[in-house]
Amino acid sequence: MAVGVPAVEASGLVKRFGGLTAVDHVDLRVDVGEVYGILGPNGAGKTTFLRMLFGLIRPDAGTLRVFGRTWGDAGPSMLDGVAGFIESPRFYPYLSGRRNLNLLAGLDGGGADSRIDEVLDVVDLAGRADDKVGGYSFGMRQRLGVAASLLRDPRLLVLDEPANGLDPAGIRDMRALVKQLAAGGLTVLLSSHNMDEVEEICDNVTIMRTGRVVYHGSIDQLRAQAPDPSHRLMTSDDEQALRLAAGHRAVAVSVHPDGGLALRAQAADADAYIIALGRSNLAVRALHLEIAPLESLFFMLTETDPDAGFDAPAQTQPDTLTGVTS
Ligand SMILES: Nc1ncnc2c1ncn2[C@@H]1O[C@H](COP(=O)(O)OP(=O)(O)OP(=O)(O)O)[C@@H](O)[C@H]1O
């Protein structure tokens, strides 16, 4: 149950670029203490939303409050307690990580300098702090960007696709860092185009496509609405396996376009069918998960025409789905 002023509250937010509506009447609420994901494919409007949050561009309509403040009421102090970066953080490559943070701390003032060792430690860069940033990997630069944000001792950390462009180890480290910061009580708003990432680290999610919200909800609700996982199945006799499926109403089995069979079912129903295949002397030669349920849902939501009346996992209103009270 959410209490108090939300960290971020957008209502009817619109941003147009000429004839293109990049953010189209978006409502969204991020409560203090949660990790919130804005998920969508390229061009969905995620970065445009975050740029409005940082005051880099102005909305054409709607309101955006950060800890209850609007740009109109508070001007730049709307961003008090907020830190983060859009796209990738930029640093002087010929200076060390520590020196870059020194310069930023000087701009921020307020004793940020005394936090440099601590934040380098948090992002696991203490051992490389005196090396030039030009020699850092992309993942290290992203982590230095988080360190620079933490210098401000924020209450809200905003990250735009923080794991984008990282290798698998960098992705793992960045996700672990975000989870660690969230566990320490920091509110995090991040954008992503990766369902796995959002599922792993976020409590609640808004899914966007072409500027519009197609889903708001908790990750648990999203999981509950996801379709059955889809597998590719190879057996010693696919025709007989297909016939056997007729007696298992909870599984959907069809001929896979690339050979073998396509099996769509919940895990327990798929298990029962596979056991039945064995009992009928049919060998299972391969069973691969092709599309994970949430990934499949993401494609359904973001590749279906929003005006076509897509009705499976319905769009839910922000304040009904997270169980929050206004
Ligand atoms: N300054 C701009 N001028 C014109 N069009 C813009 C501008 N910024 C963004 N757009 C357009 O607005 C739409 C949303 O872009 P945005 O960058 O917000 O999407 P995104 O969800 O962050 O996607 P990506 O993951 O590709 O960054 C896109 O069609 C983009 O081309």
Please tell me the predicted confidence (pLDDT) of residue 302: 82
Q: Is the ipTM of this complex over 0.90?
A: yes
Span from the CA of 263 to the centroid of ligand 1 (angstroms): 38
Q: SS3 letters for the chain?
A: CCCCCCCEEEEEEEEEECCEEEEEEEEEEECCCCEEEEECCCCCCHHHHHHHHCCCCCCCEEEEEECCECHHHHHHHHHCCEEEECCCCCCCCCCEHHHHHHHHHHHHCCCHHHHHHHHHHHCCCHHHCCCEHHHCCHHHHHHHHHHHHHCCCCCEEEEECCCCCCCHHHHHHHHHHHHHHHHCCCEEEEEECCHHHHHHHCCEEEEEECCEEEEEEEHHHHHHHCCCCEEEEEECCHHHHHHHHCCCCCCEEEECCCCCEEEECCHHHHHHHHHHHHHCCCCEEEEEEEECHHHHHHHHHHHCCHHHCCCCCCCCCHHHHCCCCC
Span from the CA of 47 to the centroid of ligand 1 (angstroms): 7
Q: Name 16's bridge partners.
A: 21
Span from the CA of 22 to the centroid of ligand 1 (angstroms): 6
Residues with CB under 6 Å of ligand 1 are 17, 20, 22, 40, 42-48, 193
Q: Whose CA is nearest to atom 18 of ligand 1?
A: 45
Span from the CA of 310 to the centroid of ligand 1 (angstroms): 24
Q: Whose CA is nearest to atom 11 of ligand 1?
A: 22
Nearest atom within ligand 1 for CA of residue 208: 21
Which residue from 186, 193, 203, 149 is spatially nearest to 171, judged by alpha carbons?
Answer: 193
Please tell me the predicted confidence (pLDDT) of residue 3: 59
Span from the CA of 161 to the centroid of ligand 1 (angstroms): 13
Pocket test for ligand 1, best of 26, 48, 205 (most atoms within 8 A of CB): 48
- Amino acid identity, position 321: L
Span from the CA of 121 to the centroid of ligand 1 (angstroms): 34
Q: Which domains does the chain have, with CATH numbers?
A: 8-225 (3.40.50.300), 230-291 (3.30.70)
Q: Whose CA is nearest to atom 12 of ligand 1?
A: 22
Per residue of the chain (326 residues), what is the pLDDT tens digit? 455 899 999 999 999 999 999 999 999 999 999 999 999 998 999 999 999 999 999 999 999 999 999 988 888 889 999 999 898 888 999 999 999 999 998 887 767 788 899 999 999 999 999 999 999 998 899 999 999 999 988 999 999 998 888 888 888 988 999 999 999 999 999 999 988 889 899 999 999 999 999 989 898 888 888 778 889 999 999 999 999 999 999 999 999 989 999 999 888 999 999 999 999 999 999 999 887 778 777 887 887 655 543 333 434 333 322 222 22
Alpha-carbon distance of 258 to 243, in angstroms, equals 19
Alpha-carbon distance of 218 to 56, in angstroms, equals 29
Pocket test for ligand 1, best of 21, 38, 46 (most atoms within 8 A of CB): 46
Please tell me the predicted confidence (pLDDT) of residue 76: 86
Long-range contacts: 106-114, Cβ < 8 Å, 24+?
108/151, 108/152, 112/151, 112/152, 112/153
Cβ neighbours around 82 below 10 Å, total: 22
